[in-house]
Amino acid sequence: MSSQPQKSCPICDNDAPPRSENKAFPFCSKRCKAVDLGKWLGGQYAVPGPPASPHDIAQELTNKSD
């Protein structure tokens, strides 16, 4: 039986129990999970690169369904 190293929460740096014991994984709590979501929704996190136009997105979706 191998023991997995303890992961730390990316928001508060506390220990985050493994997924099997923690529905909020990789966060330590529902609160930290909500804080992270708020950062995404508030624009504090962003995927690098230029924004995609709605036309480019539609084109990409059309190509994937072919």
Report yes or no on 41 lying in a domain: yes
Report yes or no on 1 lying in a domain: no
Q: How many domains does the chain have?
A: 1
Q: Residue 17's domain is classified under what CATH number?
A: 3.30.50
Report yes or no on 2 lying in a domain: no
Report yes or no on 53 lying in a domain: yes
pTM higher than 0.85 for the full model? no
State in Å, rounded, how far the first CA of the chain is from the last one.
Answer: 46
Report yes or no on 47 lying in a domain: yes
Report yes or no on 44 lying in a domain: yes
**What's the token pair of residue 39?**
């950062």
What pLDDT digit, counting tens, does each position of 5-64 carry? 789 999 999 999 999 999 999 999 999 999 999 999 998 998 888 888 999 999 999 987
- Whole domain around residue 61: which residue ranges? 7-65
